[in-house]
Chain A
């Protein structure tokens, strides 16, 4: 059974600091996604990572993928309050033909001014 684990599940940090959210998964996968969710809102796509060593950056967020370690990271640089949200990683199991995604439990990020 494919499992996706995120840590930490909760993170409170000051503006201007850097931090990393980790996403571990238990079996091979050919696609890893990062999504953002604001309270009461839907899921917003941030990144999709397709290959070992893939790195993508958008503003203060940078995501990377190590398929050998089955690990993805979401790094936040010089955090600002607007980045407060819950961040999810999701994995598409390889050879899964229906494109079902398996999701982590989410990391709730609070950034204090």
Chain B
């Protein structure tokens, strides 16, 4: 297992377009998280899945954002009608059981122009 994989690594999109990111967690990890990180800041929590169930969503996750984790494996994060303020690094992390360690992916850097 090579860790948490995120695709694409970079995405440049025009304002108003829709984008989708993918996260493949470590295979035996049942918990999956999405965070957003802007330059010079720490990550901000977006949403959390336990297996296929989305159990928590941040207020940061507006109606334009949606996340899924079908079958409790990979996850997708879609942003509709992107805005310049959506430009950020989107990080995915996974963990197992009692959370002593989260493993983060390399992130997807989104630039909205």
* Nearest neighbor of B4 in chain A, beta-carbon distance: A42
**Inter-chain residue pair count (beta carbon < 8 A):** 55
Residue in B44, B56, B103, B106 whose CB lies within 8 Å of A98: B56
Query: Distance in Å from the Cβ of A103 to the closest Cβ of chain B?
Result: 3
Taking CB atoms and an 8 Å cut-off, the chain A residues in 67-113 that contact chain B are 88, 90, 92, 97-106
* Known A-B contacts A42-B106, A43-B104, A101-B45; A106 and B40 likewise in contact (beta carbons under 8 Å): yes
* Known A-B contacts A92-B99, A99-B31; A104 and B42 likewise in contact (beta carbons under 8 Å): yes
* Nearest neighbor of A6 in chain B, beta-carbon distance: B42
Write out the residue numbers on chain B whose beta carbons fall within 8 Å of the beta carbon of A4. Answer: 42
Instruction: Report how many residues on chain B are interfacial, defined by Cβ distance under 8 Å.
Output: 24
Q: A92-B99, A101-B45, A106-B41 are known contacts; what are 7 more A-B pairs with Cβ within 8 Å?
A: A42-B104, A88-B42, A90-B43, A98-B56, A103-B42, A103-B44, A105-B42
Query: Distance in Å from the Cβ of B67 to the closest Cβ of chain A?
Result: 14
Query: In the bound complex, do residue B91 and residue A43 qualify as a contact, i.e. CB atoms below 8 Å apart?
Result: yes
Query: In the bound complex, do residue A101 and residue B102 qualify as a contact, i.e. CB atoms below 8 Å apart?
Result: yes
Query: In the bound complex, do residue A98 and residue B55 qualify as a contact, i.e. CB atoms below 8 Å apart?
Result: yes
B25 within 8 Å of A by Cβ?
no
Write out the residue numbers on chain A whose beta carbons fall within 8 Å of the beta carbon of B102. Answer: 33, 45, 101
List, sorted by A's number, 19 A–B pairs whose CB atoms are closer than 8 Å.
Answer: A4-B42, A35-B104, A42-B105, A42-B107, A43-B93, A43-B104, A45-B103, A48-B101, A88-B43, A92-B99, A98-B48, A99-B31, A99-B33, A100-B48, A100-B58, A101-B45, A102-B45, A103-B42, A103-B44
Taking CB atoms and an 8 Å cut-off, the chain B residues in 42-91 that contact chain A are 42-45, 48, 55-56, 58, 91
**In whole angstroms, what is the CA distance A48 to B40 when docked?**
23
Query: In the bound complex, do residue A90 and residue B107 qualify as a contact, i.e. CB atoms below 8 Å apart?
Result: no
Taking CB atoms and an 8 Å cut-off, the chain A residues in 1-45 that contact chain B are 4, 31, 33, 35, 41-45
Write out the residue numbers on chain B whose beta carbons fall within 8 Å of the beta carbon of A92. Answer: 99
**In whole angstroms, what is the CA distance A88 to B35 when docked?**
14
Write out the residue numbers on chain A whose beta carbons fall within 8 Å of the beta carbon of B99. Answer: 31, 92, 99
